[in-house]
């Protein structure tokens, strides 16, 4: 019994940027499968010409796709971008140079999103994400249907976010867990670079003020206006003031030779814990095992066709189309053993449901494991 997803062509993209791919090659027991349903070159979230969203369906603005977002870049990724001399990368590198030149959120820890983005997105991410050009990423290039200028060196969030997942909630769980890990790695390694390259005591006081995160809670009016105070910027950079690009490249050189055990050694126990969680999520992602017993999960129908229904379960961006004949037998999964439910469906309704279809229904939370 077939179930269908999008009808868009499948175009594969690299699973992770090279630095993070190398670390995950060491940490995980195998390669990470590509999320081929997220067809970024022909965005799966953008409508075709003239198409209108059906009930419950979301389309992204084709002028932003999922890049209505400004990423935080850790110092060593800024350095990798600045040091990348590939001529094909020149346009992307220029977007980071522009951020460096503007100076807003430019610190020895890396590049922070500007306060105007933080203020807008922090309170309105649900409505602005995928829609607003006002908060479009500065690294987004409006060429070839829209593409990322720093794809090769994108950060943890951009490397792990997808709108759709081949294995539904199982895939989403893996990528979200990996994001948690890589975000913690970025924070730890950025701090390690500051420690190693030492901007000086006064700069450290500004970078790590008493009160921690709360000390930065007030919006800096100069940064808000796009013109940070030169005196404060010099103090923030200390020994490296005037040599910011050199500093970022030095960070990249420090991180480049690190193997995964070196990363763990330079990070706190939290990264070790997140690494274990990511390995467990990866094992789930690669496992095809079926739960012993299943029951019907929570989902809503958003569109009705003659023989099918489009339903949304774990993720509003990832609807799935199911045959009505399949929906009509789901009640057989009532916490009895999975094999018994399948045998009963076959005997009483003459419908054979194979293991890969059951797995798909579990991945999309249409069926969920029963505790009993
Ligand atoms: S991940 Fe982003 S660019 Fe790729 S298909 Fe989804 S919304 Fe489009
Ligand atoms: S860095 Fe690239 S992937 Fe991330 S939001 Fe910007 S354009 Fe999109």
Q: What is the ipTM of this complex?
A: 0.99
Predicted pLDDT at 180: 98
What pLDDT, on a 0 to 100 scale, did the predictor assign at position 215?
64
E strand residue ranges, the chain: 73-74, 106-107, 110-111, 140-141, 147-148, 293-296, 300-304, 308-312, 320-323, 334-337, 367-369
CA of 303 to the centre of ligand 1 (A): 22
Strands (E), 69-124: 73-74, 106-107, 110-111
Q: What interhelical angle do 18-27 and 168-197 show, nearest 10?
A: 110
Cα distance between residue 186 and residue 156, in whole Å = 8
Sign of CA dihedral 260, 187, 131, 93: negative
56 CA to middle of ligand 2, Å?
26
> Any residues with Cβ below 6 Å from ligand 1, and which?
38-40, 43-45, 60, 65-66, 162-163
Mutate to test the pocket of ligand 1, among 60, 63, 148 (most ligand atoms within 8 A of CB): 60
Q: Which two tokens stand for residue 341?
A: 């439910």
> pLDDT value at position 9?
36
Give the model's pLDDT for residue 351.
Answer: 96
pLDDT given for residue 226 in this prediction: 87
Nearest ligand 1 atom to alpha carbon 164: 6
What is the Å distance from ligand 2's center to 291 Cα? 37
- Digit-by-digit pLDDT tens for the chain (372 residues) are 545 444 333 333 458 999 999 999 999 999 999 999 999 989 999 987 666 777 777 899 999 999 999 999 999 999 999 999 999 999 999 999 999 999 999 999 999 999 999 999 988 999 999 999 999 999 999 988 899 999 999 999 999 999 999 999 999 999 999 999 999 999 999 999 999 999 999 999 999 999 876 666 678 888 888 889 999 999 999 999 999 999 999 999 999 999 999 999 999 999 999 999 999 999 999 999 999 999 999 999 998 999 999 999 999 999 999 999 999 999 999 999 999 999 999 999 999 999 999 999 999 999 999 976
Q: Which atom of ligand 1 is nearest to the CA of 130?
A: 7
Which residues have C-beta within 8 Å of that of residue 210, sequence separation ≥ 6? none
CA gap 285, 203 in Å, rounded: 44
> 66 alpha carbon to ligand 1 midpoint, in Å?
6
**Cα 109 to ligand 1 centre (Å):** 29
Q: Determine the atom of ligand 2 nearest the C-alpha atom of 158.
A: 4
What is the reported pLDDT for 328? Answer: 97
Mutation probe of ligand 1 site: the residue of 162, 164, 165, 179 with most atoms within 8 A of C-beta: 162
Q: For residue 157, how far is its CA from the centre of ligand 2 (angstroms)?
A: 9
Ligand found nearest the CA of 157: 2
> Would you call 354 helix, strand, or coil by DSSP?
coil
What local confidence, expressed as pLDDT, does residue 15 receive?
A: 87
Cβ 77 under 6 angstroms from ligand 2:
no
Task: Kindly give the distance from the C-alpha atom of residue 165 to the centroid of ligand 1, in angstroms, as a whole number.
Answer: 11
- Angle CA(126)–CA(129)–CA(134) in degrees, nearest 5? 120
Minimal-distance CA residue to ligand 1 atom 8: 43
């Amino acid at each position: 019994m077939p179930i269908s997803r999008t009808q868009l062509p499948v175009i594969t993209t690299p699973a992770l940027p090279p630095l993070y791919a190398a670390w995950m090659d060491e940490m995980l027991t195998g390669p990470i499968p590509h999320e081929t349903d997220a067809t970024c070159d022909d965005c799966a979230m953008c409508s075709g010409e003239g198409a209108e969203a059906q009930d419950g369906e979301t389309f992204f603005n084709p002028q932003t796709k999922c890049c209505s977002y400004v990423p935080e870049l850790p110092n060593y990724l800024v350095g990798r971008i600045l040091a990348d001399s590939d001529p094909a990368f020149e346009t992307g590198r220029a977007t980071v140079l522009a951020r460096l030149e503007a100076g807003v959120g430019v610190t020895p820890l890396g590049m922070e999103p500007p306060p105007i983005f933080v203020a807008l997105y922090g309170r309105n991410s649900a409505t602005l994400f995928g829609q607003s050009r006002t908060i479009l990423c500065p690294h987004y290039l409006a060429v070839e249907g829209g593409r990322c200028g720093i794809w090769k060196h994108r950060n943890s969030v951009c490397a792990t976010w997808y709108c759709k997942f081949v294995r539904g909630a199982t895939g989403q769980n893996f990528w979200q867990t990996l994001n948690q890990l890589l975000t913690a790695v970025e924070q730890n390694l950025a701090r390690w670079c500051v420690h190693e390259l030492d901007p000086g005591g006064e700069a450290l006081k500004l970078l790590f003020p008493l009160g921690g995160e709360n000390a930065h809670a007030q919006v800096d009016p100069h940064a808000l206006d796009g013109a940070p105070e030169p005196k404060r910027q010099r103090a923030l950079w200390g020994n490296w003031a005037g040599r910011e690009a050199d500093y970022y490249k030095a960070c990249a050189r420090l991180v480049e030779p690190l193997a995964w055990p070196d990363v763990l050694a330079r990070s706190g126990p939290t990264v070790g814990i997140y690494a274990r969680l990511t390995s467990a999520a990866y094992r789930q992602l690669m496992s095809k095992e079926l739960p012993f017993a299943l029951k019907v999960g929570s989902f809503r129908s958003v569109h009705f066709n003659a023989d099918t229904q489009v339903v949304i379960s774990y993720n509003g961006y990832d609807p799935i189309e199911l045959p009505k004949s399949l929906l009509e037998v789901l009640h057989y999964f009532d916490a009895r053993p999975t094999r018994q439910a399948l045998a009963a469906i076959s005997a009483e309704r003459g419908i054979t449901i194979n293991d890969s279809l059951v797995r798909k229904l579990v991945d999309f939370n249409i069926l969920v494991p029963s505790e009993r």
